[in-house]
Amino acid sequence: MTVVRCPETIHLRKVILVLAGNFYRKRTTVNRQRSTIPDPVSLPPMAQKVRVRFAPSPTGGLHLGGVRTVLYNYLFAKKNGGDFVLRIEDTDQSRYVAGAEEYIFDCLKWAGLTPDESPLHGGAYGPYRQSERKPMYRQYAEQLVTQGHAYYAFDTPEELEKMRQDFKTEQNPSPQYDHTLRLKMRNSLSLTAEETKQLLAEGARHVIRIKMPENESLSFTDMIRGEVSFDTSLVDDKVLLKADNMPTYHLAVVVDDYLMKITHAFRGEEWLPSAPVHVLCWKYLFGLDQMPQWAHLPLILGPNGKLSKRDGAKYGFPVFAMNWTDPKTNELTEGFREKGFLPEAFINLLALLGWNDGTEKELFSREELIQAFSLERVHSAGARFDYEKAKWFNHEWIKQTDSQSLLPVVKTILEEKGLSTGSDHLLEKVIGLVKDRCTLLPDFYDQSSFFFQRPATIDTDSVKPKWNEAKQLFFAEVIRHFTLSATWDAHEMETNFKEMAAANRIKPGEVLLPFRIMLVGGKFGPHVFDIAALLGKEETIHRIKNALSLFA
RNA sequence: GGCCCGUUCGUCUAAGGGUUAGGACACCACCCUUUCACGGUGGUGAUACGAGUUCGAAUCUCGUACGGGCUACCA
């Protein structure tokens, strides 16, 4: 590509940028220098349907960073009328974990991020499990060998280990299998053609490694970071095809992205160092003009660097979307769902971790996110996860969600804790009364259990010191009044209650708190007359009587 | 060690050469509320450092420091 200088061209570029859906961060126009790939902006805009993929390896829980990658994929696809593909990267047989794939699907379902194509949902580009695509990878690796871009390597794990020991120095603590060493190893570059042929004929275990060129500068344009460049001499000869004929990630990601017609490839920043391998495979195999646009997403950091499930256990917040139990160790790692997060809030907080729409808006529904999302507003720096802020998002979502929508999940939680919640009508009213006080879903139990069962303990300590005969008599009168009352209305009750207090020369404040504690058990909860109204006449009178005997 | 990426309040971030550097979370104070919350008002608090370019730099360039990632026949 050429560096654009004249103002007209710059203007034209901007127009194209807009036409192309603003996929490209504006800053990339600033620090771009020479690129070995064609300027993406010069590609025919929207020539093909947008297709993105999330490609997890089913080896355990799905954590924050993973869900955010799914989210950004999903939002980008929906925003651009494209397809969101879920591909299972299960090429490492030794890391197979039972149930992990179903778990991923469950998480996506809970979060409302349904793939358009996947092993579960089907699609025209299957199979979507790499283990089921095994036969198709070898030919591409062989093609690279034929082209001279890759080679057979016969080194055993022991030999590799020996190499790492032998060449390890203080200056170079982790020697790589690269151009400086490959001729010292057993491979089709160091062996004669005859020897190689012989070994292959014998069926000797071997892998295929990419032959990284020396002294080439390789660069590509990342949609988030602009131009990123590498010196190929410093990259090692990564294994492309393993001895069991399974591809490594490096080969599989290129082959599958090509075969599945992926147009935009998003992944975590931890993949950046191996990007030159992938770019080279694209160049050799399918041509750089076919390569998807890359976007390396900033990492989500825990208190100490990259977020790990250990952080959750250590610092008391979830890192997985849902509960995950390791089938081998039986170790349970708590998820956001079980912790009491609403999926809407979870999505919302994840979206805002590294992205914003440029305004001060922070609360977004899924639809609003789809509308507002754009990759060029994704931050390039890693973001530290702040659990306090995460809880704030959930609290906001609980407050703004209507009681009726909250009802099923709240009901489940209350029932799991052994409460029978009575009619939905009642529960809905209760939810409306207490939801402002609930940050996490289980808070509904603490905030509303007294509506459904008598308080287990009564905070008598807060009443007794100021308790006296006058108050005792006042409440006796209250009971009498309530008993005779034909109606049962919160406002009316409040008026009468206060009038009675005045008639007895008692300040309302002095009897309001005792009244609350009688009904609720403690110093918390909604307006006390609202509580009494929902509790009903009989129950209210019962609780007053019961408490009176405790206070005396 | 090498390579790559990054760096604005404690945290998430806005500001695309000209702003008293804005917002949110958290924290503090006050108001509302005869409970706890919600809500409202206000406050503390940041451009890592050093050069350069420029009339003017958080913003562009270089260097330093610091942080993170990668360095497997894992993904």
Give residue-wise pLDDT tens across range A196-208. 999 999 999 999 9
Say yes or no: Cβ of A299 under 7 A from any atom of strand B.
Answer: yes
Say yes or no: Cβ of A205 under 7 A from any atom of strand B.
Answer: yes
List the strands of the sheet with A305-306, edge to edge. A305-306, A300-302, A383-384
C-alpha–C-alpha distance, residues A72 and A301, integer Å = 17
**Is the pLDDT confidence value at A398 over 90?**
yes
Distance A77 CA to B49 C1' (A): 42
Least confident of A1-5, A23-27, A91-95, A363-367: A1-5
List bases in chain B with any atom under 7 Å of a protein Cβ.
Answer: 1-8, 10-16, 22-26, 34-39, 60-61, 67-75
**Is the pLDDT confidence value at A22 over 70?**
no
Residue range A460-487: mean pLDDT, rounded = 93
C-alpha–C-alpha distance, residues A401 and A337, integer Å = 17
Say yes or no: Cβ of A386 under 7 A from any atom of strand B.
Answer: yes
Distance A18 CA to B63 C1' (A): 37
Which nucleotide is the nearest neighbour of A130, by CA and C1'? B75
Distance A58 CA to B53 C1' (A): 52
Say yes or no: Cβ of A310 under 7 A from any atom of strand B.
Answer: no
Q: Give the model's confidence band at A47: pLDDT under 50 very low, under 70 low, under 90 confident, else very high.
A: low
Say yes or no: Cβ of A308 under 7 A from any atom of strand B.
Answer: no
Q: Which of residues 78-97 of A touch strand B (CB under 7 A)?
A: 89, 91-92, 94-95
What pLDDT sits at residue A46? 52
C-alpha–C-alpha distance, residues A461 and A351, integer Å = 47
How is residue A248 annotated by DSSP? P
What pLDDT sits at residue A303? 87
C-alpha–C-alpha distance, residues A375 and A24, integer Å = 7
Which nucleotide is the nearest neighbour of A171, by CA and C1'? B1
**Is the pLDDT confidence value at A25 over 80?**
no
What pLDDT sits at residue A515? 97
Distance A251 CA to B16 C1' (A): 38
Q: Give the model's confidence band at A24: pLDDT under 50 very low, under 70 low, under 90 confident, else very high.
A: very low
Nearest protein residue, CA measured to C1' of B67 = A305
**Is the pLDDT confidence value at A19 over 90?**
no
Q: Which of residues 41-60 of A touch strand B (CB under 7 A)?
A: 55-57
**Is the pLDDT confidence value at A12 over 70?**
no
Residues above pLDDT 70, as percent of chain A: 91
Q: What is chain A's mean pLDDT, rounded? A: 91
**Is the pLDDT confidence value at A219 over 70?**
yes
**Is the pLDDT confidence value at A249 over 50?**
yes
Q: Are A515 and A551 in contact (CB under 8 A)?
A: no
Residue range A240-251: mean pLDDT, rounded = 98
φ/ψ of residue A140, rounded to 5 = -70, -40
Which nucleotide is the nearest neighbour of A390, by CA and C1'? B25
Q: Give the model's confidence band at A552: pLDDT under 50 very low, under 70 low, under 90 confident, else very high.
A: confident
Which nucleotide is the nearest neighbour of A154, by CA and C1'? B73
**Is the pLDDT confidence value at A62 over 80?**
yes
Residue range A126-133: mean pLDDT, rounded = 96
Which nucleotide is the nearest neighbour of A209, by CA and C1'? B73
Cα-based torsion angle of the residue sequence A92, A96, A100, A101 in order, rounded to the nearest 10 degrees: 60
C-alpha–C-alpha distance, residues A70 and A54, integer Å = 6
C-alpha–C-alpha distance, residues A105 and A124, integer Å = 19
How is residue A53 annotated by DSSP? E
What pLDDT sits at residue A126? 83
Distance A5 CA to B17 C1' (A): 19
Residue range A96-121: mean pLDDT, rounded = 97
Catalytic residues of A: 309
Residues above pLDDT 90, as percent of chain A: 87
Distance A126 CA to B30 C1' (A): 63
- pTM comes to 0.91
Distance A292 CA to B24 C1' (A): 35
- What is this model's ipTM? 0.96
Residue range A535-547: mean pLDDT, rounded = 96
Q: Which of residues 438-497 of A touch strand B (CB under 7 A)?
A: none
Q: Which of residues 499-538 of A touch strand B (CB under 7 A)?
A: 507-509, 512-513, 516, 523-528
**Is the pLDDT confidence value at A73 over 90?**
yes
Q: Which of residues 362-381 of A touch strand B (CB under 7 A)?
A: 362, 376-377, 379-381
Say yes or no: Cβ of A11 under 7 A from any atom of strand B.
Answer: no
Which nucleotide is the nearest neighbour of A155, by CA and C1'? B73
Distance A319 CA to B74 C1' (A): 21
How is residue A522 annotated by DSSP? S
Nearest protein residue, CA measured to C1' of B11 = A386
Which nucleotide is the nearest neighbour of A501, by CA and C1'? B34
**Is the pLDDT confidence value at A14 over 70?**
no
Q: What is the pLDDT of residues A427-442, one digit of tens each?
A: 999 999 999 999 999 9
Distance A261 CA to B30 C1' (A): 60
Instruction: Output the 3-class SS for A426-470.
Output: HHHHHHHHHHHHCCCCCHHHHHHHHHHCCCCCCCHHHCHHHCCHH
Distance A482 CA to B35 C1' (A): 22
Q: Which helix (H) or strand (E) holds A197?
A: helix A193-201
Which nucleotide is the nearest neighbour of A93, by CA and C1'? B74
What pLDDT sits at residue A21? 33
